[in-house]
Structure 1
Amino acid sequence: MSPRLRFIFHYPEGSGPDADALAAGPLHEIAAAAERAGFDGFSLSEHPAPGARWLASGGHQTLDPLVALAYAAAATQRLRLVTNLAVAPYRNPMLLAKAAATLDVLSGGRFTLGLGAGYQKSEFHALGVELDERNALFDEALEVLPLHWSGEPFSYRGRHFDAREVIARPRPVQRPIPIWIGGNSRLARRRVAERAQGWLTMSGPPQLAATARTPALGSLAELAAQISEMRAAAETAGRPEPLDVVYSYPDRSIADPAADADRHRAAFAEIEKAGVTWVVVSSGTREPPATQEFLTAFGETYLTATN
């Protein structure tokens, strides 16, 4: 992977219970436009059964990210397709592994599985999953995924299943499919160091961190120290391969990409200096022309020279 900073376009999500999940534009057209503009990745999040109270207070509707990214894969050739993020405890890990492998095969090895433990109590209840089990279920998924993707017979006794000498094909193109783990906790960083290929940080105001049941991210200096510690732990664990770090750009003024471009370039440089390898940006747009205009302007302003 090139050392330069890479950019992911996160498809805009409308807030509120009546939001149109595709208001920003037809998914295949927006994904193709992001690729033309020079973005390296395209991401979607997941809320299969969001609570009405959460939606009324600013929460967002989503598409199913695995289904939607498969659709985006058919309209693109180069973009990395990212769940940002899927909630591991919501699914039986066999079903999660099969969906991920299918998407990786159909996209020619372009899928990255961003995973989180989840935080919405009402959503856990709606899906029949115990919130208090989320960390145990998350670790269980991290153990099962590579076994399933190996294409070799395996057995595994989980909290809610008993797999006995099962074998899953086709194998994914990537060995393994990259897993990026979300959350700002020490536990999340330890999981990355021991079992994953990247860390999906959660930037934003303190109230967002409280809602998502994760510590606030802190300053870039603090982030740089956490990244160094995590990468050192990975080396100690015998995992010398470089770990990706993903950072969601919090400055909403980027919605007008050409305005104050020097300040944004300086900010991106500082983010890269901290050890971040991927930056997620979104447009906040609610109409297809505005989304297309954002992608073109961002590409011309920040991506033309790097692609």
Structure 2
Amino acid sequence: MAKAKFYYDSDTLSYQPIGKNKKKIFRNTILYILAVILIGLLGFAAFSTILKSPSERSTLRELNNLKFNYELLEKRMTESTAILEEIQQRDNNVYRVIFEAKPISEEERSAGFGGVNRYKNLEGFKNSDLITEATQKMDILAKRLVVQSKSLDEIVKLAKNKAEMLASIPAIQPVANKDLKRMASGYGMRIHPIYKTRRMHWGMDFSAPQGSNIYATGDGVIKSAKKSRKGFGNHIVIDHGFGYETTYAHMNKFFVRRGQKVKRGDLIGLVGSTGSSTAPHLHYEVKKGNQKMNPVYFYHNDLTPEEYETMLILSSQENQSLD
């Protein structure tokens, strides 16, 4: 039992018992309760941080493992992208050059990844940046792999057709050296024989006696064979495939018909001076795709280095053409 406490009252000259202050007791009680609650909350927070439930620990391990795997995946995709870029460089600068195929542009390889936000559903998470970046790299890598796979399929097809392609590319002179008088005019700006003005001459003029043989410069199919008193006069066009066409103009006569297949070196007609021609000669043109090419680059099969050098010099002279 607690001892009673007294105080000395000077008015009554006696000891009086000390009474309890209810307000003070109430305040102390409230403070005690608040202190207990605060200590409990701090203890629970510390306890829950140190000692997580089995489910929480499992979830945390999965999240950490997922983050690690994403980082590892991103690293591997970066390495794969570097390897793919090297293959793409060889594809454009080696394989496609060998087979004269058009290089694939960067726009074609990376098409389909602009505009709308494809990864909006990945936003709002703790590791959204990491997941979005990895997903984006994966999509781009997959797209580039598809494009590269199709490109290699095309290269394989070109390789299988290499023999046919080499036989089809125009590679000889259309008029034999023994029949040539001279190289009358080459590819480039030349003086027109009738209008006496400088105009683009899109082919080469081979001056030869009337009736000299004209040969197909590569395998192909006769695309057209026309007789005319204007322009090219009697002329034929051969479709060699692989984007190549050759034109033989101002012929005296031709021995082929439309749709007929010819081989390199086949006799297709005779030198003449029909159409807008001022002297017997063959006007010869080479076209690749929609672009007319300088024919002088296509005589590598029947000329020695010395003869080819002479051909280059003669064809580059800015003289008057014959048509």
Shorter chain as normaliser: what TM range? under 0.3
TM-score by length of 2: 0.21
Larger-Rg structure: 2
TM-score by length of 1: 0.21
Structure with the larger RCO, 1 or 2 (CA within 8 Å, 6+ apart): 1
